């Protein structure tokens, strides 16, 4: 094995919760949002991929440090520091947003499969997806399951490949990436909120903190006391993992916008409301390969993101109720935790049978996340800036500043979007 191969293997071993979280961030809701962004505005909003990267990285690092240093998940820390009413509101908002997001993602995945296998019914597909996702979380051990999620994250590379194969105008791409422009229209404002909501999503905050704990449990640190604090090396490896995952996530976002901007916008196809729409629109212009890649990408990241969404809700509710929780435990050891996973997926399945429009749901799920995120972010920044809680690993000045900027940006965009919808 060469030295380069050895370094790559060591790097791959470091990657874990951060990579999985980053890839899950580009769920079918995100793909639909990015596809519509490229189709409607071409390369104009590519700069958002640069703008959101440090915000995502800082937020997810805060969440990871909270889990690693305290030995508790995000909801558990909120329960320790605030009233039950505050925690209840936070958890209700999270679970509502997650369940709606799961429903939208399930519908999008089913539509993507139908593009490749038209004879399969929508009802059968959404049911199969839900049953399969539940089975994976219930019957596969965490050690194997986490590896499955890690390798599934590689699916995002299909969008990178697509972006290079279409041979876009790289000069125009670079200008729009580095020079921010914006038109203050209602539709663009809603889309920007959707982009922020699907990149800085509340479910990722809870998942990240809890997965750091799962990693420690996998290493034999079962009790909270054993997990208190973190070493310098552990924090370093976590940062490599988290920032790599966020870079990977933004890379996927960048190439989806690029592809739809180069192909669809330039051909006057400006109204893409789902990833399936994007795949179908690409097919007559650039051929079957783009059609297949887009469809496979939607299914792949959906298989990754749906368990993350359901798991996020389960961690939050279990920590609020002080139940035994964690994917490292068997269903017989954590009834309530796994019951939440099953219930949230079944509710999401039901939403697809009672008329939830999967096309509209994808964008509005992202917008909903954008409105809920500032509330969650407030607690993330406060907790990670608390010296009595975080000790030596408390936020520094720059991390705290970027954290509050993120809260402010998400809050302003969320309020502006609500105003633009109802005024």
What confidence tens digit (pLDDT) does each residue in 273-287 have? 666 666 666 666 656
pLDDT band at 12 (very low <50, low <70, confident <90, very high): confident
Residue 294 confidence (pLDDT): 72
> Which residue has better confidence, 227 or 269?
269
Q: Is residue 196 part of a domain?
A: yes
Q: Is residue 5 part of a domain?
A: no
Is it the case that residue 356 has pLDDT exceeding 70? no
Q: Is residue 119 part of a domain?
A: yes
**Of 130, 165, 83, 69, nearest in space to 392 by CA:** 69
Residue 257 confidence (pLDDT): 92
Q: Is residue 96 part of a domain?
A: yes
Residue 339 confidence (pLDDT): 94
Total domain count, the chain: 1
Average pLDDT over residues 153-162: 76
pLDDT band at 383 (very low <50, low <70, confident <90, very high): very high
Tally the C-alpha atoms within 13 A of residue 51's C-alpha that lie toward its C-beta. 17
Q: Is residue 7 part of a domain?
A: no
Is it the case that residue 367 has pLDDT exceeding 70? no
Q: How far apart are CA 142 and CA 157, in angstroms?
A: 25
pTM for this model (two decimals): 0.88
**Of 268, 292, 266, 269, nearest in space to 279 by CA:** 292
CA 105 to chain centre: 12
Q: How many CB atoms within 10 Å of residue 255?
A: 24
Residue 53 confidence (pLDDT): 94
Q: Where in the sequence is the domain holding 301, given as residue range(s)?
A: 25-422
Per-residue pLDDT tens over the stretch 86-130: 888 888 888 888 888 898 889 888 888 888 888 889 899 999 999
Residue 2 confidence (pLDDT): 72
pLDDT band at 370 (very low <50, low <70, confident <90, very high): low
Q: Among residues of the chain, what percentage have pLDDT more than 90?
A: 27
Q: Is residue 48 part of a domain?
A: yes
Angle between helices 170-178 and 47-70 (to 10 degrees): 60
SS (H, E, C) the chain: CCHHHHHHHHHHHHCCHHHHHHHHHCCHHHHHHHHHHHHHHCCCCCHHHHHHHHHHHHHHHHHHHHHHHHCCCHHHHHHHHCCHHHHHHHHHHHHHHHHHHHHHHHHHHHHHHHHHCCCCCHHHHHHHHHHHHHHHHHHCCHHHHHHHHHHHHHHHHHHHHHHHHCCCCHHHHHHHHHCCCCCCCHHHHHHHHHHHHHHCCHHHHHHHHHHHHHHHHHCCCCCHHHHCCCCHHHHHHHHHHHHHHHHHHHHHHHHHHHHHHHHCHHHCCCCCCCHHHHHHHHHHHHCHHHHHHHHHHHHHHHHHHHHHHHHHHHHHHHHHHCCCCCCCCCHHHCHHHHHHHHHHHHHHHHHHHCCCCHHHHHHHHHHHHHHHHHHHHHHHHHHHCCHHHHHHHCCCHHHHHHHHHHHHHHHHHHHHHHHHHHC
Is it the case that residue 252 has pLDDT exceeding 60? yes
Averaging pLDDT over each range in 109-113, 312-316, 327-331, which range is the top one?
Answer: 312-316
> Which residue has better confidence, 1 or 9?
9
> Which residue has better confidence, 136 or 152?
136
Average pLDDT over residues 174-187: 88
CATH number at residue 328: 1.20.1740.10
Average pLDDT over residues 339-362: 82
Residue 222 confidence (pLDDT): 66
Average pLDDT over residues 277-298: 68
Residue 422 confidence (pLDDT): 62
Q: Is residue 31 part of a domain?
A: yes
Average pLDDT over residues 176-197: 84
Residue 165 confidence (pLDDT): 78
Asked if 106 and 367 touch (Cβ cutoff 8 Å), the reply is no
Is it the case that residue 189 has pLDDT exceeding 90? no
Per-residue pLDDT tens over the stretch 33-67: 888 899 889 999 999 999 999 999 999 999 999 99
Average pLDDT over residues 65-94: 87
Q: How far apart are CA 300 and CA 18, in angstroms?
A: 18
Contacts 24+ apart (CB under 8 A), 147-154: 149/20, 149/24, 149/304, 149/307, 149/308, 150/15, 150/16, 150/19, 150/20, 152/23, 152/300, 152/301, 152/303, 152/304, 153/19, 153/20, 153/22, 153/23, 153/24, 153/248, 153/304
Q: Is residue 144 part of a domain?
A: yes
Q: Dihedral, CA atoms, 187, 351, 140, 330, nearest 10 degrees?
A: 120
> Average pLDDT of the chain?
83
């Amino acid at each position: 094995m060469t030295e380069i191969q050895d370094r790559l293997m060591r790097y791959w071993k470091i990657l874990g919760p951060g990579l999985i979280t980053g890839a899950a961030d580009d769920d079918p809701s995100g793909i639909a949002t990015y596809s519509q962004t490229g189709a409607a505005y071409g390369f104009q909003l590519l700069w958002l991929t640069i703008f959101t990267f440090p915000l995502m990285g800082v937020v997810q690092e805060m969440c990871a440090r909270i889990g690693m240093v305290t030995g508790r998940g995000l909801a558990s820390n909120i329960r320790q520091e605030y009233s039950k009413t505050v925690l209840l509101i936070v958890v209700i908002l999270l679970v509502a947003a997650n369940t709606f997001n799961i429903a939208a993602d399930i519908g999008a995945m089913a539509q993507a499969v139908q593009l490749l296998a038209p004879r399969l019914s929508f009802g059968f597909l959404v049911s199969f997806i839900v049953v399969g996702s539940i089975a994976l979380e219930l019957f596969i051990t965490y050690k194997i399951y986490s590896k499955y999620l890690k390798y599934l994250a590689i699916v995002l590379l299909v969008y990178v490949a697509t972006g290079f194969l279409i041979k876009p105008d790289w000069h125009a791409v670079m200008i729009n990436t580095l020079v921010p422009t914006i038109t203050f229209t209602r539709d663009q404002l809603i889309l920007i909120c959707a982009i922020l909501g699907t990149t800085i999503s509340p479910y990722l905050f809870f998942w990240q903190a809890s997965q750091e704990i799962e990693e420690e449990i996998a290493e034999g640190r079962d009790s909270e006391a054993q997990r208190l604090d973190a070493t310098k090396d552990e924090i370093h490896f976590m940062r490599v993992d988290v920032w790599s995952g966020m870079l990977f996530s933004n890379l996927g976002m960048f190439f989806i916008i690029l592809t739809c901007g180069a192909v669809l916008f330039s051909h006057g196809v400006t109204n893409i409301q789902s990833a399936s729409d994007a795949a179908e629109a690409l097919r007559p212009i650039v051929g079957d390969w783009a059609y297949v890649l887009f469809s496979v990408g939607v299914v792949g990241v959906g298989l990754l993101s749906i368990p993350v969404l359901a798991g996020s809700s389960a961690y939050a509710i279990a920590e609020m109720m002080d139940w035994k929780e964690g994917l490292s435990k068997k269903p017989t050891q954590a009834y309530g935790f796994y019951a939440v996973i099953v219930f949230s997926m079944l509710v999401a399945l039901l939403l697809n049978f009672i008329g939830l429009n999967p096309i509209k749901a994808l964008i509005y799920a992202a917008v909903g996340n954008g409105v809920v995120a500032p509330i969650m972010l407030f607690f993330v920044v406060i907790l990670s800036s608390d010296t009595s809680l975080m000790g030596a690993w408390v936020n520094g000045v720059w991390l705290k500043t970027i954290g509050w900027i993120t809260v402010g940006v998400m809050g302003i965009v969320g309020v502006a979007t609500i105003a633009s919808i109802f005024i």
